[in-house]
């Protein structure tokens, strides 16, 4: 197996790294402190194709593999975790429209979304339907040529400042088979937004509840067939788990780079703290964990690209391992900075705050363990999960 990057893949990395260093890293602390949503920066990302990474080429996107997209996201996360994370959410929503939408729907929405001229939010989670997404209650009831949408979504990234909502709604009976997917203009009559949530991290993107009160949505705005919504959502979550794991890796990489530089400069007891064996051992362990997490994520991305029957399990394993490892690496990097790691003059505390939620998003890591364990307990599964 060849683990090296091709020339084309290295070009993707170089382009994303240059963008992150010039357009994201210098401003990330201010965006966090001011809770500023950098829509202009996201539009600049769209100029490079980063807002339609794996949206099909027929819909105007780059049509990238999930592996290639993860290389770009990792570098962007080194510049600003929160902005890179929102970019992946936008990519997921845009890809759903480009993959499952009618030609007219694609023409209506995708050009601006791929260009970053308009932004999209993904609406799945509800007050009573978090990990158990199949129990969602928001409804879309057929009424002539329209659906009437009612209900609420919570923890929606970008809500209130995005132009398009991709929402999973109940059109049929209980359970997964009664769910359908829709594209809804965010300024539709009957949509209201909750207060901007005050969060531990991810402050550079707004998070709000979305409320629907008899919102009229044309039948043509449905993605796929009635009842296909849950399958669309789950397919999106496999990729979403790779995305959020990749954001953890990119942030952890930057934290480790900065910590390694710092310990070589910081003097205590008449020597750099990098000279202490305890520091060296800690750095070695963190580097090993980071490389292991990165390779697991890239393996999961490869499995998803290959449509491997075990792809969902690999995505769950990668998400669980990489988000835990990413948070741990950032936390340990903060420790290497000592007291300076705890103040906002340095980015360590922001790295810790921003990566903590990754262990919850896209399915909690406890749910990831359930997915993995249930697959292991299927007869013969251990012979293919290896």
Which residues does the annotation mark as catalytic? 362
- Tell me the three-class secondary structure of 261-292, residue by residue: HHHHHCEECCEEHHHCHHHHHHHHHHHHHHHH
């Amino acid at each position: 197996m060849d683990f090296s990057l091709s020339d084309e893949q290295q070009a993707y990395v170089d382009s994303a790294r240059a963008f992150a260093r010039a357009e994201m890293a210098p401003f990330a602390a201010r965006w966090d402190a001011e809770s500023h949503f950098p829509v202009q920066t996201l539009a600049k990302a769209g100029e490079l194709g980063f807002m339609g990474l794996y949206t099909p080429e027929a819909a105007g996107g780059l049509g990238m593999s999930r592996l290639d997209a993860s290389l770009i996201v990792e570098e962007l996360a080194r510049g600003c975790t929160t902005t890179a994370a929102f970019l992946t959410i936008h990519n997921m929503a845009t890809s759903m429209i480009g993959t499952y939408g009618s030609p007219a729907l694609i023409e209506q929405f995708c050009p601006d979304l791929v260009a970053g001229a308009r932004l999209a939010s993904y609406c799945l989670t509800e007050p009573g339907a978090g990990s158990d997404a199949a129990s969602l209650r928001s409804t879309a009831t057929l009424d002539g040529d329209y659906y009437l949408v009612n209900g609420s979504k919570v923890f929606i990234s970008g809500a209130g400042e995005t132009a398009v909502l991709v929402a999973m709604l109940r059109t049929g009976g209980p359970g997964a088979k009664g769910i359908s997917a829709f594209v809804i203009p965010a300024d539709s009559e009957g949509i209201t937004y909750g207060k901007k949530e005050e969060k531990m991290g991810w402050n550079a993107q707004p998070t709000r509840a979305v409320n629907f009160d008899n919102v009229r949505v044309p039948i043509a705005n449905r993605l796929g067939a009635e009842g296909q919504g849950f399958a669309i959502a789950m397919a999106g979550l496999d990729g979403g788990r790779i995305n959020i794991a990749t954001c953890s890796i990119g942030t952890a990489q930057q934290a480790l780079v900065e910590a390694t530089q710092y310990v070589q400069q910081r003097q205590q007891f008449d020597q750099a703290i990098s000279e202490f064996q305890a520091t060296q051992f800690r750095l070695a362990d963190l580097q090993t964990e980071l490389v292991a997490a990165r390779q697991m994520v890239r393996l999961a991305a490869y499995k998803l690209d290959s449509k491997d029957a075990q792809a969902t399990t690999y995505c769950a394993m990668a998400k669980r391992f990489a988000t835990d490892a990413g948070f741990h690496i950032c936390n340990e990097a903060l420790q290497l900075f000592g007291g300076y790691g705890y103040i906002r003059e340095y980015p360590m505390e922001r790295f810790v705050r921003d990566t903590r939620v990754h262990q919850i998003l896209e399915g909690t890591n406890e749910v990831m363990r359930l997915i993995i364990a249930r697959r292991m307990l299927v007869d013969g599964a251990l012979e293919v999960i290896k």
